[in-house]
Chains A and B, each alone.
Chain A
Amino acid sequence: MKIEEIAKLIDGEIVGAPADDSYEVKKAFASDLMSDVLRFSMEETVLITGLCNNQTMRTSEMSDLRVVIIGRDKQPDEDMLELAEEIDITLIKSKFSIFKISGILYEAGIQPLY
């Protein structure tokens, strides 16, 4: 699924690095615990999280994530947005809860990481 399609489904707004039209998201992982994100392979995966800080960005960078959904109406600050652009990570801000975002994406065919 394309990044733009995901944003539309969860009434999200794309910020940070521009969405790469050619990138296909197949799986999702929901976690506020960055320690857990670092444990898994994140290929073709979108991270859904309510943790909205620079650590979310750095963890995503090390995990080779390209797209991160920030749920629960959390607002990334300027520092975080700059970092996201610098390391080429697209953020989708959504007012929905993590559970709702996960449910919508699951129903739309996005697979769990495991």
Chain B
Amino acid sequence: MHYTFEIERGNFADAGQASSSVKRTLKQLGVAPPNIKRTVVALFEAEINAIAHAYGGTIDVDIDDGKIVMVVADQGPGIPNLDLAMQEGWSTASPQVREMGYGAGMGLPNIKKNTDELKIETEVGVGTTVTMTVYLA
């Protein structure tokens, strides 16, 4: 099963719609609740990151019997120092993002914690692609 969602820059009003839709689908498919939880938390964090930092992008989700693969690809500023971005507490979020309750520098570390595989490809001035895999076994 394949699903695609659009990400619009700064559109916090709709933030979480993609993750919510994936959550409903996984529930309908009878996926175990702990796997649903880690999948949607990782996807939601990535969705918020893209809305907060990038200029737009897409979310692609593939679900099969054995795994869920989520690709969040944005056109954006890229991440200049990925090692720093992976550290808990490091953030470049704007005051507006912080007022929404995010931007604590926990997003990428939390994605890592909740997924089995995480690949981040980033190029400054071009964008970032985050590929997250959750195994269902």
Bound together, the chains give a CA A34 to CA B35 distance in angstroms of 21
Closest chain B residue, CB of each to CB of A49 = B101
Mark interface residues in B98-113 (1 if CB within 8 Å of A CB, else 0): 0011111111001001
List the 5 closest pairs (A to B, CB-CB), nearest first: A58-B16, A34-B101, A35-B104, A35-B106, A62-B44
Q: How many A-B residue pairs have CB under 8 A?
A: 65
Q: A38 near B106 (CB under 8 angstroms)?
A: yes
Known contacts A38-B41, A38-B44, A38-B110: A59-B101 contact under CB 8 Å: yes
Mark interface residues in B109-120 (1 if CB within 8 Å of A CB, else 0): 010010000000
Closest chain B residue, CB of each to CB of A58 = B16
Q: B20 near A39 (CB under 8 angstroms)?
A: no
Bound together, the chains give a CA A77 to CA B6 distance in angstroms of 26
Q: A62 near B19 (CB under 8 angstroms)?
A: yes
B67 within 8 A of A: no
- Contact among A41, A55, A62 for B100, CB-based, below 8 A: A55
Bound together, the chains give a CA A84 to CA B19 distance in angstroms of 16
Which residues of A are in contact with B by a Cβ distance under 8 Å? 32-36, 38-39, 41, 51, 53-56, 58-59, 61-64, 79, 87
- Contact among A35, A55, A61, A79 for B23, CB-based, below 8 A: A61
Besides A33-B104, A55-B16, A58-B20, 16 new A-B residue pairs in contact (Cβ under 8 A), listed by A number: A33-B101, A35-B103, A35-B104, A35-B110, A36-B104, A53-B100, A55-B15, A55-B100, A58-B16, A59-B16, A59-B44, A59-B101, A62-B23, A63-B37, A64-B33, A64-B37
